[in-house]
Structure 1
Amino acid sequence: MCPDGSINEYVKEHPNANKLALLSQVAGGVAYLHSRGVVHGKICGRNIVIAPNGRPLITDTGLTQVIQAQEGIFPWRLPSESVRWMAPELFASELDDAYTTSSDVWALAMTILEVMSGEMPYHPRRQVHATALAIMDGVLPQRPDNGIISDDLWDALNMMWTRNPDIRPHAPFVQWQLDVLRHAVEHPLYKL
C-alpha cells in the first residue's frame, strides 16, 4: 500500500522532499484526529507512512512493545520504542489512558525534530531508562548543529515542548506555524 515506507525512509530516499510541507500535512492529520475526539498516543516517524500520491498517513504500527521495568529503577512498565516521544506528564501517570491531545502535540514536536534532523529525539542517548529519566528531569533534545532547523522552527518546537500540557499549542496552530515557515522558505523575501 505504501511503497515509500515511513516518512523517515521517504525523506532519506527523496533528499529534496519538502519536509515542512509533509510535516504540515502530518500536523493537519493530528488536528483532524483531535477534532474527532481521537488521541493517537504514539505519534512518531515510524507511524507515519507516505502514500503513493505522496501524502503522509498517520498509522499505528504497534510501537507499544513493552519492556519490564528493572526492580528499583522504575515501578512501572515502559514502552521501549516510544519513550523518546513521550511527554513528561505521561511518566507520572498510572493510568493507561493518560495520553491527551497535549501529549500528542509533544510527540508531534519530537516527530518534527526527528524528520528534520534525520535522528531520533535525544540522539545519541541510547539507554531507554536514561532517556526516560532525562525527560522526567525536564531535559529537552539538543538542537542539531547542522543548520537544518531554523530559529523560528526551533522556537515553535520549544513551545510544543512546554512542560505544562495546558499551555501547549493545539495541533491546528502547529499546522499553521509549519505552513508559515514553509511559505517563508518557499517564497523568501530578497533584499536588493
Structure 2
Amino acid sequence: MKGLALEDDTPRDFTSQISASGTSKDEIPSAATLDEIPSAGTFGIVYRRTIESSEGTMEVGRSEDLQDWSSGRENHAKISKGINRELRVWLELKHPTIVPLLGIAKVQDSLFPALISEWMSSGTLYAYLKEQGTISASTRIKLARGVADGLEYLHSRSVVHGDLHPGNVLVDGSGHPRLIDFGLATIAGDVESQLNTTTAGRSVNPQWRAPEVIGIDPETEPVRPNFESDVYSFGSVMFFIVSGVTPWHEKKSSNHIIIELSKELLLHVPTTSLTITGT
C-alpha cells in the first residue's frame, strides 16, 4: 500500500480514514511490573486500528495520549514540544529495523494528535519471546542482531534513542525486531532537542538504563542519554534475549536494583535459558 507512505517527509493526516474502535496493544503479562517492561511511552499507549483508503485496508498502530491535563498550560506546552520533537526525529528515520511512521490523526477529547505507525502483529519483544517459549540460539542471535542493527542505524544518523528496552522493540509478522518510541530521542549536537527532552513521566527502569543516566550517585548530576548509555541499554536487552530473564529479575523493586548498582555489583547470570520471566 504505497499510498500510505509519507510524502515529502510530511506527516499525513489520517483522521477521516482511521477506525474509531480497536484493541489495546498492551500485551505485557500481569506478572511484569511497569518498572520492568513498560507497556506505554511518555505520551500514550498504542491501539490497533484500521485505515480505509483508495489503496485498500491496512492495520496500523495509533499511539494515544495518557497525560493528566489538569496540570496547566505549562505542562501542555512541554508535551506539545515533546510530540513535535518525536515527530521531527521519527520522520527522518527510514530503515528496516525502525517501525515506520505513517502520519497523524486527531483524537476526540485530546489536545494532541495520535501518531500512526505500521502495526507490528507480534507485539513487543517481551510478549514475543514469552509467546514463543523455548526458542533456538539462532533465533535469539537474529533478534539481538536486529536490535543492534537498529541502534547502529540510529547512531549513524546522530540519533540517541534514550529509552531502549524490550517494550520499545516491536516484532513484525516475520519475526524481525523494530525499534519504536522516540519520545526521549535526541540528535547528538542539537542543543535544542536535548534541552526539550525530559524524563518526567517515565519510569526509572534501572534494569535497562545506564547508572549515570539514572543518577545513582548523590554527589553528581545525572547525565543525559548518549551513545554510550544506548549501548549499555542494548547490553541489557541482549541479556534478556539470550537468558530469557530481565536484568536484576531477582530484585523486588527498582530501589533494590539501584542499591546494587551503587555498590557496582555485577548481574547474576543464569546458567540456562528456560522461560521468559519478569519477576
Instruction: Report the TM-score, using the length of structure 2 for normalisation.
Output: 0.44
- The one-letter code matched in structure 1 to 2:176 is R
Q: Which amino acid aligns with 1:21?
A: K
Equivalent residues in 2 for 1:165-180, closer than 5 Å: none
Q: Compare CA radii of gyration and give the structure with the larger one.
A: 2
The RMSD of aligned alpha carbons is 2.7
| 1:128 is aligned to 2:254 | yes
Query: Which digits, 9 at most, give the CA deviation of each residue in 1:107-162, with x for residues without a partner?
Result: 101111112222211111022112112113212211112167xxxxxxxxxxxxxx
Letter in 1 for 2:245: E
Cα 1:147–1:45 change in 2 (3 A) is: closer
Please give the residue correspondences for 1:84-123 in structure 2 after superposition, counting only pairs within 5 Å. Answer: 84-90=207-213, 91=215, 92=217, 94=221, 98-123=224-249
User: In structure 1, what is the equivalent of residue 153 of structure 2?
Assistant: 32
Q: 1:45 to 1:54 in 2, by over 3 A?
A: same
Q: Whose RCO is larger (CA < 8 A, sep 6+)? A: 1
Distance 1:56 1:81 in 2: 24
Go from structure 1 to structure 2 and tell me whether the alpha carbon gap of 1:111 and 1:28 turns closer, same or farther (over 3 Å shift). Answer: same
Q: Given the alignment of the two structures, is residue 57 of structure 1 paired with residue 178 of structure 2, yes or no?
A: yes
| 1:150-182 deviation digits (Å, cap 9, x = unpaired) | xxxxxxxxxxxxxxxxxxxxxxxxxxxxxxxxx
How many aligned residue pairs are there? 135
CA offset at residue 105 of structure 1? 0.6
Letter in 2 for 1:3: S
Bigger helix share: 1
In the alignment, the residues of structure 2 paired with residue 57 and residue 29 of structure 1 have an alpha-carbon distance, to the nearest angstrom, of: 7
Tell me by how many angstroms 1:62 deviates: 7.0
In structure 1, what residue type is equivalent to 2:128?
Y
TM-aligned CA distance change 1:78 to 1:137, over 3 Å: farther
Residues 51 and 94 of structure 1: CA distance in aligned 2, closer, same or farther (over 3 Å): same
Aligned twin of 1:160? none
Amino acid corresponding to residue 152 of structure 2 in structure 1: A
- Among 127, 131, 135, the residue aligned to 1:16: 135
Judged with a 3 Å threshold, the aligned counterparts in structure 2 of structure 1 residues 141 and 61 are, in CA distance, closer, same or farther, namely: farther
CA distance in structure 1 between the partners assigned to 2:260 and 2:140 by the alignment: 28
Contact 2:242–2:273, Cα closer than 8 Å, also in 1: no
Q: Show the counterpart of 1:5.
A: 123
- For residues 273 and 127 of structure 2, what CA distance do their matches in structure 1 show? 21
**Alpha-carbon distance in 2 for matches of 1:38, 1:62:** 12
Structure 2 counterpart of 1:42: 163
**Paired residue type of 1:31:** E
The structure-2 alpha-carbon separation of the partners of 1:121 and 1:61, relative to structure 1 and needing over 3 Å to count, comes to farther
Q: What is the match of residue 70 of structure 1?
A: none
Contact 1:6 1:50 in 2 (8 A): yes
Report the CA distance shift for 1:78/1:4 in structure 2 as closer, same or farther (over 3 A).
closer
Say whether residues 1:146 and 2:264 are aligned partners: no
Q: What is the TM-score when the length of structure 1 is the normalising length?
A: 0.62
| Unpaired stretches in structure 1, ≥5 consecutive residues | 64-76, 149-192
Equivalent residues of 1:88, 1:138 under 8 A apart: no
Task: Measure the CA separation in 2 of the matches of 1:128 and 1:106.
Answer: 17
Letter in 2 for 1:26: V
